[in-house]
Structure 1
Amino acid sequence: MIVFDLRCSQAHVFEAWFGSSAAYQEQRERGLLSCPFCGDGDVVKAVMAPNVAAKGNTRPAASAMTDAPPDPATIKAAMRAMAAAQAKALAGSEWVGTAFPERARAMHAGELPAGPIHGQTSLAEAKSLIDEGVAVAPLPFPVLPPETIN
């Protein structure tokens, strides 16, 4: 695994992990990268400080040892907790599929009763909703349409 600092065109900097430099490049070319803060799809590598290992015959300072990344079990537990939180949030939400932008706009305009919905839309359409003042947010994990679940 390799970690990169990434930056969107709105100057948000965030960290992302990839299997390789080639995996990063492939995901970027396919438009699969987006800023977790604003959803911007114009994401590039940011300048980052290199992590240079100490000489083999020296011991790292105690403070450096506390900066170790979390173990895989901790990461898995955090991901399970996030998935459970998303499932709980969606339990009272209505799946509206590709009609999401139209339904969200209608609720925002007062043409439909307000209520929690989730569905699918493009990044450009999501940005347009945000620009119009419609409160939307991306979900951290993909959601399968109910009709595809057996």
Structure 2
Amino acid sequence: MIRYALRCDKGHDFESWFRNSTGFEAMRDANQIACAECGSTRVDRALMAPAVPSEKARLSEPQNSALEKLRQHVEKNSDYVGLSFAEEARAMHDGDRPTRAIHGEARPEDARKLIEDGVPIAPLPFIPRQKSN
């Protein structure tokens, strides 16, 4: 699906979704697209820019959301073990290492195996800030 900004011959702007650009062109050529304001079927695509947030905009988002508070709590109260998460969690569960709060990264199949084996883990709703070890 693709969304186009559209403009009729009277200068009215509106938007609509299409299967693809060929689908838009076929509907336009068959006069099947009408202006939402005046009903004109003389419609074409309008100039549009993609809505991609800049890195600066993403970094300047408010840092007081519930998700950010959860991230701060996890980072403050647990050790980041990176890609060693599955190994560390299993070793603590088996009693081979002292128990402590950890967070890190695991491949989906490793996480699934931990859950199947009764190791208490949970996915986090954010990507760790630290890079893998």
Please, what TM-score do these two structures have when normalized by structure 1? 0.43
